[in-house]
Structure 1
Amino acid sequence: MRTNPKALTGLVALGFFALMAVVGPWLAPFDPSERSSALLQPPSAEHWFGTTHLGQDIFSQVLAGTRSVVLVGAIAGVVATVLSVLVGVTAGYLSGSAGEGLSALSNVFLVIPALPLIVIITSSLPETSNLTIALVIGLTSWAWNARVLRAQTLSLRRRDYVEAARANGESAWRIILFEIMPNLTAVIASGFVGTVLFAVVSEITLAFIGVSDAGGWNWGTVLYWAQSQQALAQGAWWWFVPAGLAIALLGTALSLVNFGIDEYVNPRLRNRFSMPGVRMRVGFTPVLPQDPKLAQKLETS
């Protein structure tokens, strides 16, 4: 991952957002809900991202909202990943009614539209805290990753090393944990990153449509108030552009990490050979490096 520029860029950006999630509320120059006489002011030296119609500092709102977005994404990603691993790997390894039952369960959750279901569940709950939203998103967004892990496990359970472990009398759970799971690490990591991205978008969507608590700050809440007060019609671009850019940058960072994991898992997507100075794409037809001396060394070896 350190040698992949996409993954490295995404990890650096994710580290920045994680740092802002921890120290952002303390670095905020103003209370996000504090009103002032500077009503709907453009960016300035005092208010870097401008102010709202109530004189609230938008820069402080964006900083304070980072913690909610990152926290919900991380918790939902962990919950969905644990469920997908438990259901997907078990359904792929076990045969008979147990495996088919788990596969049918994931199929049921797969065909249910996730976002409308999340909206219905969160709107019917008496309290919609960040933990509640994260749990609801995690419990309803694990099916796709479970299907992917089931397919991968089906292809691994008949490999020679798995058959050898089974012939030696190893238990099913030991084979799953020590023989199959290590080969699924990259797939699980990719699924986790994708789930975090979905959870972030879902939480922002819930806040934007007013389902979650409008008093708690996150990037979707900033967009919700900007839309409800017709910021675009008033020309107050500074009200919604910073939060939109933050969403785009976080989504880009998660996507870059996901692309890096995909390139690590899929050898045909790798474009660098292990030898220093040799560029080579792995595929059906090998491509010799551009350096003639290195090419001659490879041909003679």
Structure 2
Amino acid sequence: MATIETQHDVTGDVVPAVVVPTRYPRWRGLLRSRKLIAGLAIVGFFGLVAIVGPLLVADPDLVSDDRLLPPSGAHPLGTTNTGQDVFRQLVVATRGSMVVGVVVGLLATVVSVLVGVVGGYAGGRTDEGFSLVSNVFLVLPGLPLVVLITDYVQTRGALAIALIVSITSWAGAARVLRAQTLSLRARDYVDAARVSGEPDWRIVTFEILPNLLPLIAAQFVFAVIGGILTEAALAFLGLGGAGSWGTMLYFAQNSQALSLGAWWWFVPPGLCIALVGAGLALINFSLDELINPRLRATPARRTRPGGRR
């Protein structure tokens, strides 16, 4: 979108002046998206719990004689078979799962941008080498490879799990960014910047990356979802670190919480995973609407009485 400013000459005639582009009109429409607001509210709530929550609750590993009690005033989410408070465990586990998701999102996005954008703009052998590495990681099965690496590595903290998951989470996004970069580098304004003598790093930073920001943001959100779900799967298999929603599900399954009817032990962590996934999915849908105008909902036109609009 752009606005055309006009001016009058000495004879009083209207003369078109400079065409002033309207900057980031799509981002303004995105800020009014109900999906984005709902998604940010959900993710923001869990982010706040992850930051502040562990500082406000007592030690979640404390055992007591209150074993397998349902939710009550003393224990809002009941207790485990060893008398541990489920609510405390859930609050502390929120930090572990959210940290893994954010770290995976950041690392996978940075690697995909470096491989996809740099390779797509440079072309030649650089692009061929990056494409070969990307294709190899795309062919390898993701979850079995993560399980194999996690079983081999002895350290299983939150950051170690995030690094392992990030290894297999960047290739698909890199291919998408490479395709978009190949399209953008042939645009007229990129050729004009190249002819004017601007260095390559400046062209990539100020001419190509701003046009890829919606796509990069969507890839980041998708990587966060994948990181949280993969970590939960690893923890459920007994390969995750301590203090996450997947770890709670692992101990609940090993203690036969479902057979004992202790639904308060495994439902809260599963529900948290679903809610965070739904919030991130709403954010991703909003970014998809920003990237693809065909996905935007067009407001219905009002019809006047008599059939006239």
User: Normalized against structure 1, the TM-score is what?
Assistant: 0.89
Cα deviation, residue 142, structure 1: 0.5
Partner of 2:280: 254
**Residues of 2 paired with 1:196 and 1:183: CA distance?**
22
Structure 2 counterpart SS, 1:179: helix
**Counterpart mapping for 1:13-52 below 5 A:** 13-28=42-57, 30-52=58-80
Of 196, 204, 207, the match for 2:224: 196
CA displacement 1:235-281 (0-9 Å, x = unmatched): 11111011110010000001000001111111111125xxxxxx25x
1:4 aligns with 2:33: yes
Match of 1:146 in 2: 174
Write the letter of the residue equivalent to 2:302: Q
TM-superposed CA distance for 1:140, in Å, is 2.2
Paired with 2:235 and 2:303, the residues of 1 have a C-alpha distance of 55
| RMSD (Å), alpha carbons | 1.6
Residue 290 of structure 1 aligns with an amino acid whose one-letter code is: R
| Structure 2: runs of 5 or more not aligned | 1-29
Structure with greater proportional strand content: 2
Counterpart AA for 1:263:
E
2:302 to 281, 290, 294: 290
Regions of 4+ moved over 6 Å: none
Distance 2:292 2:94 in 1: 33
Please report how far the alpha carbon of residue 14 of structure 1 lies from its aligned counterpart in structure 2 after TM superposition: 0.8
Aligned partner letter, 2:146: I
1:269 aligned partner: 295
- The answer for the alignment partner of 1:108 in structure 2 is 136
Report 1:172-183 matches (<5 A). 172-183=200-211
Is 2:121 the counterpart of 1:93?
Answer: yes
- Counterpart residue identity of residue 287, structure 2: I
| Paired amino acid for 1:244 | G
The aligned counterpart of 1:163 is 191
User: How far does residue 296 in structure 1 lie from its aligned partner after superposition?
Assistant: 8.2
- Between 1:120-129 and 1:176-185, the stretch displaced more is 120-129
Q: How far apart are 1:139 and its partner, in Å?
A: 2.4
What displacement does 1:161 show?
0.7
**How far has the Cα of 1:166 moved from its partner?**
1.4
Cα separation, 2, equivalents of 1:243 and 1:105? 36
2: CA distance between counterparts of 1:292 and 1:118? 60
Q: 1:296 to 1:179 in 2, by over 3 A?
A: farther
Output the CA distance in 2 between the equivalents of 1:210 and 1:145.
29
Q: Is the 8 A contact 2:97 2:244 kept in 1?
A: yes
Q: Distance in 1 between matches of 2:104 and 2:176?
A: 18
How do 1:197-276 and structure 2 match up within 5 A? 197-213=225-241, 216-272=242-298
Counterpart for residue 125 of structure 1? 153
Consecutive unaligned residues of structure 1, counting only runs of 5 or more, are 273-278, 281-288
Q: How many residue pairs were aligned? A: 279
Aligned mates of 1:296, 1:134 — CA distance in 2: 59
CA contact (8 A) 2:232 2:240 kept: no
Please give the per-residue CA displacement for 1:62-114, whole angstroms capped at 9, x wherever unaligned: 00000001111111111110000000011211222211111111111111111
Q: Distance in 2 between matches of 1:75 and 1:251?
A: 16
Would the aligned equivalents of 2:33 and 2:286 in 1 still touch at CA under 8 Å? yes
Q: Secondary structure at the match of 2:257?
A: coil
Distance 1:262 1:231, change over 3 A: same
Letter in 2 for 1:4: S
Query: Helix, strand or coil for the counterpart of 2:260?
Result: coil
Q: Secondary structure at the match of 2:198?
A: coil
Deviates more, 1:165-174 or 1:126-135: 165-174
2:103 aligns with 75
